[in-house]
Amino acid sequence: MAFADAQDNGIVVFGTEPVTIKVAEAVVKGDCIGYSGGWYRALATTGGVIQMRYVAAQDGVAGQEIRAYGGVVYVAGTRFSGGTAGGALYVAESTTDGQYTQTAPTTTGDADKIVGYMLSATEAILIPNHNDDSVA
């Protein structure tokens, strides 16, 4: 089974460095979030890169304040399926804002920073990065 991020039914089991942020668009629990003129779902695509800074700890709509984590975050539930234990996670490309992928982005200008690792097919440790950005 190939890796999939359902962007639904994730359970943020544990997180460190909690903050409250006002999101600029709808987010779901477990989404990767970055800042670009407001707090949006992260995206790795060239020309629209939003580097991951936090993980949403709850669902929220545009303009709502939500809790997010910026340290180490453990996500379980049915958000992820088909993951390879020990495999790296990246912010997804294309139109999959806020999602993760196990395929490293390779297009020049895409964000290619490792943002976490799969513990099993359905569990992940996410490590948002606050300091350095990385592009292919």
More confident residue, 78 or 24: 24
Tokens representing 15 are 């997180």
Sorting pLDDT into bands at 50, 70 and 90, what band is 131?
low
- The verdict on residue 134 lying in a domain is no
Q: What is the pLDDT of the chain when averaged over all its residues?
A: 90
In a domain, 86, yes or no: yes
Domain that holds residue 44: 4-126
Residue 73 in any domain: the answer is: yes
Question: How many folded domains does the chain comprise?
Answer: 1
pLDDT in tens, 29-73: 999 999 999 999 999 888 888 999 999 999 999 999 999 999 999
CA 63 vs CA 38, 42, 58: distances in Å = 10, 17, 14
Residue 45 lies in a domain: yes
Q: Is the pLDDT of residue 1 over 80?
A: no
Which residue did the predictor score with more confidence, 8 or 1?
Answer: 8
Query: 61 in a domain, yes or no?
Result: yes
Give residue 39's pLDDT. Answer: 97
Q: To which residue do tokens 């996670």 refer?
A: 89
For residue 53, tell me if it sits in a domain: yes
pLDDT tens column, 100-116: 999 988 888 888 889 99
Does this model's pTM top 0.85? My answer is yes
Q: What confidence category does residue 132 fall into, taking pLDDT thresholds of 50, 70 and 90? A: low
Q: Domain for residue 135, yes or no?
A: no
Question: CA–CA separation, 64 vs 49, rounded Å?
Answer: 23
The set of residues, in sequence order, having a beta carbon less than 8 Å from that of 68 and lying 6+ positions away, is 18, 19, 20, 21, 33, 54, 55, 56, 57
Write the pLDDT tens digit of every residue in 13-28. 889 899 999 999 999 9
